Structure 1
């Protein structure tokens, strides 16, 4: 596993722990603003993990496809993903 994937995995595992904590906060009836702040923090980790995975994809899969004149499909995939990210 390369460095980007390792970092993404760490972010995902951390966000998993945060989400479990958020669920507990809701079950305990904690203050809504505190819960919201934790949700924002978990979202940030998920975004970070996604960017790391996309970075890895561009540096490896897309680069390899471009070298072999098969990059158009990979570039279109990245554009589709970016459109989804931007629309949110």
Structure 2
């Protein structure tokens, strides 16, 4: 398992813990703003896991086909585009 996969798995497990908390909060009819806040935490961890998964893919696959001397810069630019669109 790659470092990116380990990070993504940890983030997904954290998201799952927070999601269970959201479910419990809804069942308990907790205050709506508290529920929404906790739901946003879940979404944040899911976005972060997506970024780790994509980063790992780009490092393994796409980086190989990028040309020129600026491979690392091109890689970072592609990742930044994804992150901006994913927010």
> Same fold per TM (> 0.5)?
yes
In the alignment, the residues of structure 2 paired with residue 60 and residue 32 of structure 1 have an alpha-carbon distance, to the nearest angstrom, of 42
Indicate how the Cα distance of structure 1 residues 24 and 10 shifts in structure 2: closer, same or farther if over 3 A, else same: same
Q: Does 1:57 align with 2:60?
A: no
TM-score under structure 1 normalisation?
A: 0.73
Displaced runs of 4 or more, over 2 A:
63-67, 85-88
SS in 2 for 1:29: coil
Give the whole-Å Cα distance in 2 for the aligned partners of 1:64 and 1:52: 18
Maintained 8 Å contact 2:25/2:35: yes
Provide, for residues 11-64 of structure 1, a one-character-per-residue CA deviation record: whole Å limited to 9, x for no partner: 001101111110010000001000000011110000000000000000002224
Cross-structure match for 2:5: 5
1:86 corresponds to: 85
Which residue number corresponds to residue 41 of structure 1? 41
Structure 1 regions of 5+ residues with no counterpart? 68-77
RMSD: 2.4
